[in-house]
Chains A and B, each alone.
Chain A
């Protein structure tokens, strides 16, 4: 079981907005550590999508946004496009484990 909990799957139609959640605990997200998000397209290397809760690397469209509150974090994708179909992972640090941890991943299907 992953330290960070993500729904296994989410879906949406082109143009819609979806939210992917990442639930942790007081030893990771709740402790105030930054949350980061990655996108893994089929057959591709994982790509940094959001860093430090809400920052987008250069080249990532502003359709992607991140937020964090309490022991959870969320990735929102607006204006869904077919090319957004991928696996999405959250990541942070866990003080109990003294290391970086990931969520189990959420598979986004664009209907």
Chain B
């Protein structure tokens, strides 16, 4: 059974770069068809899609975060990663990694499998 697990520092200082990794077990990120994404939820707010990546490196990013976000994939480790630069307190959130089934019109994609999430706090 495929599982996703987020990992990374739980505390990041303002202006620094937040780095998280999603490790996929029970299946390979490079089998194709699926995209792999990051979603976050600030305290008391709704979910926000951050970006998604295909194992080959093709990415889609949330336009509002694009200037600060980099998502990459490491097929040798079966992981994909998120880097969010120049963080502020507003970036404090629970971060989830998730899987998109691809194919068809990507505008109709959904997330069929999620990790449990990891809380990242931005504070000095």
Contact = CB atoms under 8 A, between A and B. Distances in A.
A99 B48 CA distance: 10
B116 A44 contact: yes
A36 to B, nearest CB: 4
B46 A99 contact: no
Contacts of A15: none
Contacts of B39: 102
A48 B108 contact: no
Interface of B: 4, 39, 45-49, 60-64, 96, 98, 107-117
B116 A45 contact: yes
Given A45-B114, A46-B114, A103-B46, A98 B63 contact: yes
Given A38-B111, A45-B117, 4 more contacts: A34-B108, A38-B114, A51-B112, A97-B64
A34 B110 contact: yes
Contacts of B4: 45
Contacts of A46: 47, 96, 98, 111, 114
A101 B108 CA distance: 11
Nearest to A6: B46
Contacts of A38: 111, 114
A105 B48 CA distance: 11
Closest 9 CB pairs of A and B: A104-B46, A102-B47, A36-B110, A2-B46, A93-B107, A34-B108, A45-B114, A100-B49, A45-B116
A33 B106 CA distance: 10
Nearest to B108: A34
Interface string A1-27: 010000000000000000000000000
A104 B45 CA distance: 6
A52 B108 contact: yes
A47 interface: yes
A105 B111 contact: no
Interface in A41-59: 43-48, 51-52, 57
Nearest to A89: B47
Contacts of A33: 107-108
A95 B45 CA distance: 22
A74 interface: no
B96 A45 contact: yes
